[in-house]
Amino acid sequence: KTMEVRGAPLIGATAAYGIVLAIMEKNDPEFIQTSCENLIKSRPTAINLKWAVNRMMKKLSGVNNNEILKIALEEVKLICEEDVKFCENIGLNGLKIIEEIYNKKKDTVNILTHCNAGWLATIDWGTATSPIYHAYKKGIKVHVWVDETRPRNQGASLTSYELNEEGVPNTIIADNTGGILMQRGEVDMCIVGTDRTIATGDVANKIGTYLKALAAKDNNVPFYVALPSSTIDWETHDLKNIPIEERNSEELSYVVGLDENNNLKKVLIYPKKSKAMNLAFDVTPAKYVTGLITEKGVCEASKEGLKKLFK
């Protein structure tokens, strides 16, 4: 809830570890069940959370008290190892798309991303950033436009940090800049992550993603969504049924940054009497998504596309 941990795949892995901690605290079925329910409630939009908790509970069902901690730790380790492999494969599959653009353009591929879907949001590699890292390691010239991603600025604070650490050229932009960059032909493709993609290919992601997809569609810019299979919600078939988390409005009203003495400061940027609304996610209809980049390959953002890849 406090976002000490964020990023859909990482939330899932952390929730799995949360169950281990619950077992260590009190190895009692009722206590463990309550802990699982509380974990699921903490971040309603990110489906990886529910997926990880349900997977853990299924694995632990019927296990005796003497074995439950050992089995839980083994399953958590497996979840984390799978996430690393899945994200690496997402990168290899997305690399082909970037490589195709580079071979055609014969110049730097400019990629726009939103929020943080990198190795700080997963166990490693990231989802949206994984193809970028693979391309850069292969010697393909890439440059990333990094949306600051208000109100918590995950793009500016986290994605840019990641890219700098990896040596990938990047430029932070205000959230509303993407449209004009696309109009000017300065964006070759968009890659974003997702907190929940439903069975029809509709994508829930950080607030502002939908507007980027609209701009991309209007300017014929390919718009890709990168995700592991754990982020697919196979049970939901209507985007209106995706729960959208609304967070404390103070996240919008205040900003946190370093002052001239390098001390963290929290500053109010709106009049005290002003109301603020803080929806954390929006939904991008599948018709605006060029393709879904998964660990199994790239598919059309549709029920048929997903079924062909995963069923």
- Rounded Cα distance between 13 and 199, Å, is 22
Name the residue with tokens 């399953």.
75
Give the tokens for residue 281. Answer: 């996610």
The dihedral of CA 40, 42, 43, 49: what is its sign?
negative
Looking at residue 66, its amino acid is N
Coil vs helix vs strand at 246: strand
Q: Are 46 and 10 in contact (CB under 8 A)?
A: no
- Rounded Cα distance between 15 and 9, Å, is 10
Q: Tell me whether residue 188 is one of the annotated catalytic residues.
A: no
Cα angle vertex 116, ends 112, 122, to 5°?
A: 130
Give the tokens for residue 107. Answer: 């110049």
* Contacts (Cβ under 8 Å, ≥6 apart) of 284: 202, 203, 204, 205, 209, 210, 213, 225
- In the set 83, 175, 188, 195, the catalytic residue is 195
Name the residue with tokens 């569609």.
217
Strands 291-294 and 223-226: what pairing?
parallel
Active site residues: 195
